[in-house]
Amino acid sequence: MTDFLQYVIGGLAAGSLYALAAMGLTLIYKTSEVVNFANGEMAMLSTFAAYLLLTRFQAPYWVAFLGAMAFAALLGILLERFFMRPVQKANHLNQIMLTLGIFMLLNGTVSVYVYEPRAFPRPVQGTPYEIGGLFVSPDSVLIFAIATALMLGLYLFFKHTLAGIALRATAQNLITSRLMGVPAGRVYAITWAFAAMLGGVAGMLIAPTTGLDPNFMGDVAIKAFAGAILGGLGSLPGAVAGGLLLGVLENLIVGYISTDLKAVFAFSLILLVLVIRPQGIMGAPVRRRV
């Protein structure tokens, strides 16, 4: 039983990271119906911004964090305004291609300067706590707390604030929202800024474990997709639930069956969910009009 709980705890820790990354994805999808395949790379770039602040300018962690957030927001706004806005009306393939283009641009640019992984510090150092025979590291607790807090915050934002409702309205019906006076441009800009910041947080929390290099977000990005789909593309609580569930299931498989299957697990999960129930756990039903 302790084993099981330990796996669950480990899984929740990893899952919180997936959840953070998934939230950014879901946010963008929720408001502009675009799957942003470059989300991971945006997070990567923001994490590098933090790294620069930490190393070049010897800034303390919290300064680097805020700096990365500012950078992420700016990055999101610029990318949306100059790259995504022009293709708003294009077909799915072209939109996907655009995000792929951004992926390659960001990945490539950083690859020019970075050849080896760099070390990135944890936000909270310290020995793991022990509770009833189970070990929980302090930054796992922090990550989980952050993920939950952000989810709650965003959920309340969307449900109860005027701005949040405006964002949702824009997603559901762009023309009507604009006629109602909702500034669509600002909505998209804010969405991308938020999503980039969420990604940045995820990146800064993941980098200590994986090391910081241009491709470090790759694996997490896939898991983020899996989590977002599992929870239901377009549902923020779903993204969190999906990410957490994915982390836990993944860890259980590693623990009880074998590490080898871990690789194929996310893939099989995505495929299974997409085929059986594309709307995931909490999403709205996907209906195709004839």
Partner 1 sequence: MRRYLWPAVGFGLAAALPFVITGSYRHNIMALMLVYAIAAVGLNLLVGIAGQISMGHGAFMLIGGYTSAILTLKAGLPLWLSIPAAGVAAALVGFVLGLPALRLHGHFLALATLSFGVAIPQIAMKWGSVTGGAMGLSPKGFASDRIAYWTVLGVLALLVWVADNLLRSRPGRALRAVRDSEVVALSMGISLVWAKTSIFALSAFFAGVAGALGTHLAGFINPTDYNMLISFQLLATVVVGGLGSIPGSIAGAVLVTFLPFAFSRSKGWASTIEGLAIIGIVIFLPYGLASLVQKLRGVRRRAAS
Interface residues with partner 1 (CB under 8 A)? 29, 34-35, 37, 83, 86-87, 90, 92-94, 96-98, 100-113, 214, 218, 222, 225-226, 229, 233, 260, 263-264, 266-268, 270-271, 274-275, 278, 286, 288, 290
Nearest approach in angstroms of CB 184 to partner 1 is 19
Nearest approach in angstroms of CB 200 to partner 1 is 20
Q: Which is nearer to partner 1, 69 or 230 (CB)?
A: 230
The residue whose two tokens read 């309340």 is 156
* φ and ψ of 119, to 5 deg: -85, 140
Report the SS3 class of residue 213.
Answer: coil
Nearest approach in angstroms of CB 85 to partner 1 is 10
CA-CA-CA-CA torsion for 71, 141, 267, 261, nearest 10 degrees?
A: 140
Nearest approach in angstroms of CB 260 to partner 1 is 5
Nearest approach in angstroms of CB 91 to partner 1 is 9
The whole-angstrom separation of Cα 224 and Cα 243 is 7
Q: Which is nearer to partner 1, 162 or 276 (CB)?
A: 276
Q: Which is nearer to partner 1, 118 or 122 (CB)?
A: 118
Q: Which is nearer to partner 1, 137 or 191 (CB)?
A: 191
Kindly give, in sequence order, each residue whose CB lies less than 8 Å from that of residue 236, ignoring residues fewer than 6 positions away. 23, 26, 27, 30, 151, 154, 155, 158
Nearest approach in angstroms of CB 288 to partner 1 is 7
The whole-angstrom separation of Cα 232 and Cα 202 is 20
Q: Which is nearer to partner 1, 34 or 248 (CB)?
A: 34
* φ and ψ of 58, to 5 deg: 50, 35
Query: Which DSSP state fits 37?
Result: T
* φ and ψ of 181, to 5 deg: 95, 10
The whole-angstrom separation of Cα 87 and Cα 239 is 26
Q: Which is nearer to partner 1, 64 or 270 (CB)?
A: 270
